[in-house]
Amino acid sequence: MGFLGLPGIIASKYGVLIVGQLVVNVSLALWLYNEYVHNPFMQDYLSNTWSAIWPLVTIVGVAAIGAGAFGAYRMRRELVATGKSNNIGIEVGANLTTLDICPFCDLPLKSISEGRLQCRNCRRYFKSSLPKVPA
């Protein structure tokens, strides 16, 4: 077993370096907090600085979140349009795909009722987006 029950943390090439960096970062954050609590000059400095820059920080933060959301949306649309998405199947409409293989196990799905499919291995259920066909 690895560090704290996590097998991949210390076993990796840089695991010790990552854990050491975490210890250094936490200790520096605690030191900075302790300095802020006991130093009135630092409190005054941070109060004045934050009151001057908070509108800019807010605007930049909202813009970054918006750009990230737009980028994720655009990337997802491109993956669906090119057929390289994680959903396996053929495209039915603009955003719908039909499943015939479980995206988790890569095994064929079995039909359990009209419009419902189930994986034989992981037992997950899926809805079919295929049109109803008389039997």
Residue 66 lies in a domain: no
The answer to the question of residue 73 being in a domain is: no
Q: What are the backbone angles phi and psi of residue 79, rounded to the nearest 5°?
A: -65, -40
More confident residue, 101 or 2: 101
pLDDT tens profile 53-86: 999 999 999 999 999 999 999 888 877 766 665 5
The mean per-residue pLDDT over the stretch 33-54 comes to 95
Domain count of the chain? 2
Inside any domain, residue 71: no
- Residue 116: the pLDDT is 81
Taking the mean position of all CA atoms in its chain, how far away is CA 33?
30
Q: Is 70 inside a domain boundary? A: no
Domain presence at residue 122:
yes
In a domain, 80, yes or no: no
Which tokens in the block code for residue 43? 């409190």
pLDDT given at position 120: 80
* The pLDDT of residue 91 is above 70: no
pLDDT band (50, 70, 90) for residue 135: very low
The phi, psi pair for 122, rounded to 5°, reads -90, -5
Task: Give the separation between CA 78 and CA 82, rounded to whole angstroms.
Answer: 6
**18: alpha, beta or left? (left if phi > 0; alpha if psi -120 to 50):** alpha
Statement: the pTM of the whole predicted model exceeds 0.95: no
Q: Give the HSE-up count for residue 40: Cα atoms under 13 Å, Cβ half-sphere.
A: 0
Instruction: Examine residue 105 and state whether it is found in any structural domain, yes or no.
Output: yes
Please give the residue range of the domain that contains residue 130.
Answer: 86-135
Residue 50 lies in a domain: no
